[in-house]
Amino acid sequence: MAALGGDGLRLLSVSRPERQPESAALGGPGPGLCCWVSVFSCLSLACSYVGSLYVWKSELPRDHPAVIKRRFTSVLVVSSLSPLCVLLWRELTGIQPGTPLLTLMGFRLEGIFPAALLPLLLTMILFLGPLMQLSMDCPCDLADGLKVVLAPRSWARCLMDMRWLRNQVIAPLTEELVFRACMLPMLAPCTGLGPAVFTCPLFFGVAHFHHIFEQLRFRQSSVGSIFLSAAFQFSYTAVFGAYTAFLFIRTGHLIGPVLCHSFCNYMGFPAVCAALEHPQRRPLLAGYALGVGLFLLLLQPLTDPKLYGSLPLCVLLEQAGDSEAPLCS
């Protein structure tokens, strides 16, 4: 974000001043205006998303089914209208992506099957240790577990559970739509793909600070613990946001980040402390280390853009004259 201050807000790369700025190459306004419009649009989206959660006045906690149902309504309305912000950004900046808006936002059929399966597989590899821990602590064997997972009654119970719907369906879908599919196309022409991966999650992380007010309101813990938890959540969500932004850019699809988001919501943050005190600590810690090692080893191959066809954001930057974006190859 340092590129957004000072003398002119250069686009994409300040290390190659001989190249024409992207906004000018696309027939838009000056680079400074383009960047400020992009940042303001992203900030407006983030505020609208969080603000929609509080249009309903209630004395009930956030996990109450009535509160969850009302928030479903407002957040789905905001998310459905979020592409209009991208349209407005396009008109204000004069940037013409050269691809349909929905394609730019990751709604496309080309390469959809690998885009759905490979990022989720990669994320499950990262969670190899926690998955082993879950398996060790589960009282049922694998066959019984699969029967429960595949049973229609189990899915029916899940679909009737408002918290499950929020954590596994609505939150992943709407958050990835707003904070990745809408924000990344607006930020990329300003900052470049690499900086956008780390800039976009800042909006996502800050958006989770609203939990502080609810925790303070219901006095769920001490003030110090609440703010410490909020700082940890900001860090975790920012790192996770950078990961799903990376997946969105490298695959050009929204479905992969949504599925990974849902999986991570189900798993939660890895219980490392519990693993250190587990009766089978050594194989469990080996699983943690193996998962991280395999994740780093397979991160590039499993997100190779060649597996997913042409990438809309990369096409956008190629039109802007940046054919050397490292995330596009």
pLDDT digits (tens, 9 = 90+) for 37-62: 999 999 999 989 988 888 888 778 88
Q: How confident is the model at residue 276 (pLDDT cuts 50, 70, 90)?
A: very high
What per-residue confidence (pLDDT) applies to 209?
A: 63
Q: Phi/psi class of residue 111: alpha, beta or left (left: φ > 0; alpha: ψ in -120 to 50)?
A: left
| Closest alpha carbon to 70 in 84, 59, 83 | 59
| Closest alpha carbon to 226 in 239, 238, 240, 209 | 209
Cβ-Cβ contacts under 8 Å for 228 (sequence gap 6 or more)? none
Q: How confident is the model at residue 174 (pLDDT cuts 50, 70, 90)?
A: very high
Distance CA 85, CA 115 (A): 26
Q: Is the pLDDT of residue 201 over 80?
A: yes
Q: Tell me the average pLDDT of the chain.
A: 83
Q: How confident is the model at residue 237 (pLDDT cuts 50, 70, 90)?
A: confident
Terminal alpha carbon distance of the chain: 24
Residue of higher predicted confidence among 12 and 73 = 73
Residue of higher predicted confidence among 326 and 323 = 326
| Closest alpha carbon to 202 in 232, 235, 176 | 235
Question: Can you tell me which residue has the tokens 């900086």?
Answer: 195
**Residue 78: exposure state from Cβ atoms within 10 A (0-12, 13-18, ≥19):** buried
When mean pLDDT is compared across 24-38, 221-235, 290-304, the lowest value belongs to 24-38
Average pLDDT value for residue range 145-174: 87
Residue of higher predicted confidence among 198 and 9 = 198
Residue of higher predicted confidence among 224 and 232 = 232
Distance CA 78, CA 57 (A): 18
What per-residue confidence (pLDDT) applies to 13?
A: 36
Angstrom distances, CA of residue 165 to CA of 30, 71, 149, 160, 301 = 44, 12, 16, 8, 32
| Closest alpha carbon to 106 in 199, 244, 298 | 244
What per-residue confidence (pLDDT) applies to 219?
A: 59
When mean pLDDT is compared across 74-78, 223-227, 278-282, the lowest value belongs to 223-227
* Catalytic residue set: 175, 208
Residue of higher predicted confidence among 232 and 200 = 200
- With beta carbons less than 8 A apart as the criterion, state whether 43 and 203 touch: yes
0.75 exceeded by pTM: yes
- With beta carbons less than 8 A apart as the criterion, state whether 250 and 305 touch: yes
What per-residue confidence (pLDDT) applies to 190?
A: 86
Q: Is the pLDDT of residue 27 over 50?
A: no
| Closest alpha carbon to 55 in 78, 68, 74 | 74
**Residue 31: exposure state from Cβ atoms within 10 A (0-12, 13-18, ≥19):** buried
When mean pLDDT is compared across 119-133, 226-240, 300-314, the lowest value belongs to 226-240
